[in-house]
Amino acid sequence: MKTTLLALLLTASVTVRAEPIAVGAPLPALAIEKPGELTLQGDDIRFAPWDSSQLSGRVHVLQYLAGRMAASKLNEPLTDRLDAEDFPTDQHRVTTIINLDDALWGTGGFVMGELKSNKRRYPEAGIIADGSGLGLRTWQLEPNSSAIAVLDADGVVRFYRQGALSSAEIEQVIALIRQEIARQSTLARDR
C-alpha cells in the first residue's frame, strides 16, 4: 500500500500539463530547470533555469529540436536566411531548445559540445538544453523532428510548423518577422 502511494505521488510530481502550440494563442508555459539555458561568463559556459515567460518584449523565432543532426538540418534553410537578414537584436531573437532526451544513444556529449560551440558563435541567441524532453511532452511535439514558432512581442504565436519548412513558409516567416518588427517600432513611437 505504501509503495503504491509513493509511486502515485512520484508520478504526480513529474506530470506535465500538455497543451499544444496554437497560432493566435499565447505560447503554453514551459520551464526547463536542467540543464537549462546556456549563458556565457567570460569564456565559461554556465547553465541557468529558463522559462517561456522570457519570450516577450521582442519578436522571437523559437526552434525546438531533437538532439539529432537530422533535426537541425531540417531548419538550416530558415536559420541561414535569418542570418542573412540580420534583424536588429533589440527587436528580434532566435531561441533554440534542444531536446537532449531525443538524442541518439551515446551522442549526448557531442550534442552538448555543439550547443556550447553555437553559444560562443551566437552569444545573443537563446540556447536551452532540455534534459528530459519536457518541451516535447508539454507542447505535444513529434519526436525525432523539429518545430518552429514565431512569437510576437506579447508572446502570442503568429506562425507554427513542425518539420521542414517549404520555401514559401520560409518567406512567410521572414515577412512576418518584418511585419512584427515594424508593428513593434510603431507602437514604441506612439508611446
**What pLDDT score does 181 carry?**
93
- Whether the predicted pLDDT of 2 surpasses 50: no
Residue 41 has pLDDT above 50, yes or no: yes
The cell for 38 is: 546556456
Of 71 and 13, the one with more pLDDT: 71
In the predicted model, is pLDDT for residue 150 greater than 90? Answer: yes
String of b and e for 39-51 (b: at least 16 CB within 10 Å)?
eeeeeebebeebe
Q: Is the model more confident about 63 or about 18?
A: 63
CA distances 159 to 47, 55, 113, 132, 172, Å, are: 29, 15, 30, 26, 9
Q: How confident is the model at residue 73 (pLDDT cuts 50, 70, 90)?
A: confident
Global pTM value: 0.86
pLDDT at 15: 46
